[in-house]
Amino acid sequence: MSTYQSLSSEKLTVVLDIGSAFTRFGFTTDFAPRYIIRSEVRCKKTNKLRKICDYDSADDLYDMLVELIHIIYFKYALISPKDRPIVIVESLLCPTLFRETLAKVLFLQYEVSSILVLPSHLVALASLANDTGLVVDVGYKEAVVIPVCHGLPILQAWQALPLGGEHIHSHLKSLLSSSNTGIQNLPENFLEDIKVRCCFVTKSSRVEQLEGGKPEYAPPPDVVYPYAGTESILVTGKVREKTFEILYEEDNDHLCLSTMILDAILKVNMDLRQKLAENLVLIGGTVMTLGFKARLKEELQKQLNNDRYKVLNIHEFKFHTLPCKENYAAWLGGAIYGATEFLSMKAISKDFYLREKHLPDWINLKDINNTVSRTL
Amino acid sequence: MSYITGPEIVKYACTCGLLKPLPELYFCRHCSQIRCSFCLCHAVDSFFCGKCSENIPSAEARHKKNRCANCVICPSCQQELSTRVASKGPINPDDAKSAVKKSYYLSCHFCHWTSRDVGIPDQPSATGCWPERENVHINRLQEVLDVYQDIMLSQQQQKENSKKKRGKFVSYTDRTGVTASALRRRIGIPDIPHAKIKKPKPLDPAIAKSEVEELPEDIFTEPLKLMEITTIDQRLMQPESQPLTVDKLFPIHKQLTIKRSLRCRTCEHNVCKPEYNPTSVKFKIQLFAYYYIPEIRFVTVEPLRAGQTSELIIKFTNPTQHQTTITIFDLDLEEQEKYVEEQKLFDIIDNFEQAMSLEEKQQLSLPSLVMSSGSQPSSMYSLQSRQPSVIVKPRKINQAVNCNVAIPESTFILPPRDDAAEYDDSSDVHNIEDDPKLVKWRKSNKAFIKLAVTPAADLKIDDEVVCGFTMQHIYTNVIPAIVENMPHKYDHKVRVFFRLGKIVGSE
Amino acid sequence: MQRNNIKVIPGALVCEESKLRGDITIGAGTIIHPNASIIAEAGPIIIGENCLIEEQVKIIHRLPFDQQNKDTTPVLIIGSHNVFEVDCTVEAPKIGNHNVFESKCFVGNKVTVSNGCIIGAGCKVTEEQILKENICIFGSNCQMRECIDKPAVSTRKQLLLI
């Protein structure tokens, strides 16, 4: 083992998890990312910051990714990307255009020797040493639930809703503008800061009071948030409490965060349901909010009384406590996978990519047929 | 300075199709092509700390996680921290000899954060071993990682074993005689697994709990102290701990900076290589386009009106030590498109070949590298089993042109650059016969050129006017490895674009 | 225009080129650099001991708009050991002790400054508020943080000057 380890420390491998709001990057054998940076690049033409996920076209995305990866390698990682492997952690629901462009950037522009693509929901379980769990990823753009059973993501049970940081920010913005008439168009980083520092997920018992306008409801103290020295924003107690309610308000299809989880359980085999309910794993930046877990548990219990979920026959939910912060749980899984021989066994090499011109994907029938024929 | 940082009026087209101002471009002398940061291969050259300018060898940099051992930055505002002396009075005030005991603490000049804010005790030495935070989960994670590594190793072993068995003919001997495993199989003892590989020991999986962290009750009653809660940026600066309150912010070691070298992907030669010393701003190799391609500056243009001809004056400067002749041609974007298509076609053929015989190609490319870089010690690095580079595909020039340039019939000469001429007014006689219609005025290696431009007739007021042409200049190659003694001359073409300004109304 | 009534306590150092208007009292040990302007428009200004007022500083005693027609003339009291760095503009109605106003900062007339505060270089603070003790304002977005100590620079800087 010692020789192997010394070898691996010489060969630093970058692990990259490009999220819609934040990009986590670090090296294999580390247990925390070196940096968590915003997935933004400065646009050359307008000189404004642009989010990677707001791309217009494949070429536009290509240019932005070239810029982002350049920053990651030469400002933070400080190694040459050429002829080195790289580990990419991505959602199973990542758009094909995005992953193909990323592969193109890495192989053709930065000439990495191989790419190991890992599904974020699966690898998030790695740090728990557990092979079954219901992984709930609440990120910036969307919340995605995928059950993982015995090391296999159950894809037909996936659930996704556009509930995430972006949605919360826009909700907070509308709440704030009603109490602060003078201030319009708060920049998003201020909204984010207000969300992170002032807001929390309240208890479900208080929500009834809040909605019903009952007299016993006493709002939490207001916060005066100084905005750029010249103005201040009044963040009322009600706003602080209400911001995250959007996650649990059922939409027209009666869907919200808690029903997503139950629907996912409903879609898997009966034998696995109990086990999944007892292995809930929450990842993503939004789940780090104060009171998130407690409220989710309450909501799940409440939804169980719903006729739709009575068939589940579940009485208790159990949550895992990750040995890391939730916002880099998937990254950590990638770092653990990348530190093993898995990297040399399963990574897609440059030769393969140049021959096939695409990354293998679960959605691509050609790849599935290939693997089937190979295993046969 | 505004020429460098200001609005980009004159842009040159790189071989890859991107438009950039001249100071951002490079010129590969070996391929005689313009390159830019987009189509060059970047490589990390040397590490240094941006604050103390200390050079750090790469192995040490890796070990220190790319951070400077001495310099620390403020966890509150990410500026550099400075060490402050806090002198305590002498322990024994009567004894004059007892030295004043000095202790040190860190302080930020910008946001006035100090290491005392978070309760770090003052250190007795200036370099101070500032306390570091340990990841509390490290033991468990290491355990998990070890088990995973064992599992994967044993899986790999199994795979190899099954491969061995599948072979029709088992080679019982290798060069050293009968192999141990073959012998074992022959006499009927099962193959023992590799001695180094232990059976992966079972690991207890994490146990989920039904109790969860409850929301603290006092959140509904206690007023929020905004200044005690960290911002998201402060949290993400310390990804491992992500402290929620400011009293847990610890100083962070400063991130190192690098010097980069740039390499042409086509010929594997360096076009830019900095000096090793971090305090030196010089380069070992600096093939900037600014030193090889005539520089064009925009001087003046008559008010632009749609469909009417205006006079444009631009200045050409020859940066080289050799006389050059400049010819102006039509922009001809179609030709560039054709070139892009051609490269794509090449690419397909190339890939096909690559797939067929990649190893063969590698073998070929390596000796050829040695050949071409024989005289250049700097490219010795390239001998270390470098894979041949993938060439960035050129793209179409993405710039619409809405103004016609009348192409002059004659050419003009730019004399070589002469640094002494700056101080000598008398010797400014060149005996160059200029076309007075084209050359307005000239001095030493500079010439002011008159061109007639006609914005398209359908432009409206306040529309941006962009024109362009192809400049051909005579490039003199002076690399001794390529040409013996005789300077080798040939024509080099580059497309240049001008943002002339906006259409104004009629008189 | 009212008559200038300037009282300088012995020990203070006031440069002749400084611009002083109105009723101003300058405490002992206070240094006023040339081209600093102190304008007591709405009422008298009393500057405490050991203050340092650098070049192009503007200390203006101007009333908040809504309080202009009151009978009592308010007094702007500036405590001791305050440092006003080059080209800052301070219109605060009350200033405590041990404050630092860094270069080119702007403090509006609705901001009451207590003790030990630091207004960072270039920060513009106009929102009506009372700055608590040991508050530090810094950066382009005027971030605020609370220090544990009052700034310790003022005395040393003055010692260098004398």
With beta carbons less than 8 A apart as the criterion, state whether B27 and B293 touch: yes
Of A31, A126, A317, which has the smallest distance from its Cβ to B148's Cβ? A126
Instruction: Summarize pLDDT for A313-324 with one digit per residue, the tens.
Output: 888 899 999 898
CB contact under 8 Å between A226 and C126, yes or no, is no
Instruction: Summarize pLDDT for A1-58 with one digit per residue, the tens.
Output: 333 444 444 578 999 999 999 999 999 888 899 999 999 998 877 778 899 988 988 8
Instruction: Summarize pLDDT for B305-347 with one digit per residue, the tens.
Output: 888 888 999 999 988 888 889 998 888 777 777 777 777 666 5
Which SS3 state, helix, strand or coil, does residue C56 take? coil
Disruptive mutation site among A223, A230, A232, A233 for chain C (greatest number of C CBs within 10 Å): A230
Confidence of residue C53 (pLDDT cuts 50, 70, 90): very high
Q: What is the pLDDT of residue B18?
A: 87
Place of tokens 């897609």: A348
Please tell us whether the domain made up of A165-247 is placed in CATH 3.90.640.10.
yes
A130-163+253-310 folds as Nucleotidyltransferase; domain 5 (3.30.420)
With beta carbons less than 8 A apart as the criterion, state whether A53 and A95 touch: no
CB contact under 8 Å between B61 and A355, yes or no, is no
- Say yes or no: A146 contacts chain B, CB-CB below 8 A: no
pLDDT of residue A359 exceeding 60 = yes
Mean pLDDT score of chain A: 86
With beta carbons less than 8 A apart as the criterion, state whether C12 and C25 touch: no
Alpha helices per DSSP H over A268-328: 270-277, 292-304, 307-310
Q: Which residues of A touch C125 (CB under 8 A)?
A: 229-230
- Give how far C56 is from chain B: nearest CA, Å: 22
Q: What is the pLDDT of residue B383?
A: 38
With beta carbons less than 8 A apart as the criterion, state whether C115 and C133 touch: yes
Choose the weakest-confidence range: B42-51, B94-103, B216-225, B442-451.
B94-103
Q: What is the pLDDT of residue A306?
A: 86
What is chain C's length? 162
CA B14 centroid distance within chain: 17
Phi, psi of A15 (to 5 degrees): -110, 130
* Residue B422, CB-side half-sphere exposure with 13 Å CA sphere: 4
Choose the weakest-confidence range: A195-204, B128-137, B222-231.
B128-137
The percent of residues in chain B predicted with pLDDT above 90, rounded, is 7
Task: Map out the domains of chain B as residue ranges.
Answer: 67-87+102-147+225-255, 294-331+401-507
Place of tokens 């706003």: A239
Which SS3 state, helix, strand or coil, does residue A253 take? coil
Of B5 and B143, the structure prediction assigns the larger pLDDT to: B143
The percent of residues in chain C predicted with pLDDT above 90, rounded, is 38
Q: Which residue of B has its CA nearest to A344?
A: B156
CB contact under 8 Å between B140 and A323, yes or no, is yes
**Which chains have at least 3 CB atom pairs separated by less than 8 Å from chain A?**
B, C
Q: How far apart are CA A273 and CA A261, in angstroms?
A: 11
* Burial class, A369, CB count within 10 angstroms (exposed 0-12 / middle 13-18 / buried 19+): exposed
Closest of A138, A7, A18 to residue A67, by C-alpha: A18
Q: Which residues of C touch B76 (CB under 8 A)?
A: 145
Confidence of residue C2 (pLDDT cuts 50, 70, 90): low
Closest of B294, B343, B341, B337 to residue B314, by C-alpha: B294
Q: What is the pLDDT of residue A136?
A: 93
Q: What is the pLDDT of residue B149?
A: 86
Q: Which residues of A touch B205 (CB under 8 A)?
A: 128-131
* Burial class, A51, CB count within 10 angstroms (exposed 0-12 / middle 13-18 / buried 19+): middle
Q: What is the pLDDT of residue B444?
A: 80
Q: How far apart are CA B268 and CA A154, in angstroms?
A: 47
- Give how far C71 is from chain A: nearest CA, Å: 29
Write out the two tokens for B474: 């005579």
Of C60 and B210, the structure prediction assigns the larger pLDDT to: C60
B→C interface, C-beta within 8 Å: 76-77, 110-114, 116-117, 226-228, 231, 246
pLDDT of residue B269 exceeding 70 = yes
Range C78-90 average pLDDT: 92
With beta carbons less than 8 A apart as the criterion, state whether B469 and B328 touch: yes
Q: Which residue of B has its CA nearest to A23?
A: B236
Write out the two tokens for B22: 């001249």
Element (H, E) at C12: none
CA B270 centroid distance within chain: 13
Alpha helices per DSSP H over A233-269: 237-242, 257-267
Place of tokens 């232990």: B198
Q: How far apart are CA A359 and CA B266, in angstroms?
A: 26
**Angle of CA points B425, B426, B432, to nearest 5°:** 100
Mean pLDDT score of chain B: 78
Closest of C140, A84, A223 to residue B226, by C-alpha: A223
pLDDT of residue B485 exceeding 60 = no
Q: Which residues of C touch B246 (CB under 8 A)?
A: 145
First to last CA, chain A: 33
Instruction: Summarize pLDDT for B353-394 with one digit per residue, the tens.
Output: 544 444 444 444 444 433 333 333 333 333 344 567 777 778
- Give how far A264 is from chain C: nearest CA, Å: 44
Q: Fold match between A2-125+326-375 and A130-163+253-310? A: yes
Q: Which residues pair with B496 in a beta bridge?
A: B12, B469
Q: Which residue of A has its CA nearest to C141?
A: A228
Total domain count, chain C: 1
Of C123, C127, C137, which has the smallest distance from its Cβ to A231's Cβ? C127
With beta carbons less than 8 A apart as the criterion, state whether B334 and B470 touch: no
**Which chains have at least 3 CB atom pairs separated by less than 8 Å from chain C?**
A, B
Q: How far apart are CA B435 and CA B416, in angstroms?
A: 19
Choose the weakest-confidence range: A97-106, B89-98, B121-130.
B89-98
pLDDT of residue A211 exceeding 70 = yes
CATH number for the domain running over A2-125+326-375: 3.30.420.40
Q: How far apart are CA A160 and CA A139, in angstroms?
A: 11
Q: Which residues pair with B404 in a beta bridge?
A: B454
Confidence of residue A238 (pLDDT cuts 50, 70, 90): confident
CB contact under 8 Å between B205 and A280, yes or no, is no
CB contact under 8 Å between C125 and A230, yes or no, is yes
Instruction: Summarize pLDDT for A281-305 with one digit per residue, the tens.
Output: 999 989 999 889 999 999 998 888 8
Range A90-111 average pLDDT: 91
Strands C100-101 and C76-78: unpaired
Q: How far apart are CA A289 and CA A216, in angstroms?
A: 26
ipTM score above 0.90: no
Q: Which residue of A has its CA nearest to C108?
A: A230
Element (H, E) at A4: helix A2-10
**Angle of CA points B77, B80, B86, to nearest 5°:** 105
With beta carbons less than 8 A apart as the criterion, state whether B192 and B153 touch: no
Task: Give the structural domain span for C20.
Answer: 5-161
Range B414-443 average pLDDT: 74
Q: Which residues of A touch B232 (CB under 8 A)?
A: 192-193, 196
* Burial class, B493, CB count within 10 angstroms (exposed 0-12 / middle 13-18 / buried 19+): middle
* Residue B292, CB-side half-sphere exposure with 13 Å CA sphere: 26
**Which chains have at least 3 CB atom pairs separated by less than 8 Å from chain B?**
A, C
Q: Which residues of C touch B114 (CB under 8 A)?
A: 147-149
With beta carbons less than 8 A apart as the criterion, state whether B145 and B151 touch: no
Of C124, C127, C137, which has the smallest distance from its Cβ to A232's Cβ? C127
- Say yes or no: C157 contacts chain A, CB-CB below 8 A: no
CATH value at residue C154:
2.160.10.10
CB contact under 8 Å between B236 and A36, yes or no, is yes
Q: Which residue of C has its CA nearest to B115?
A: C148
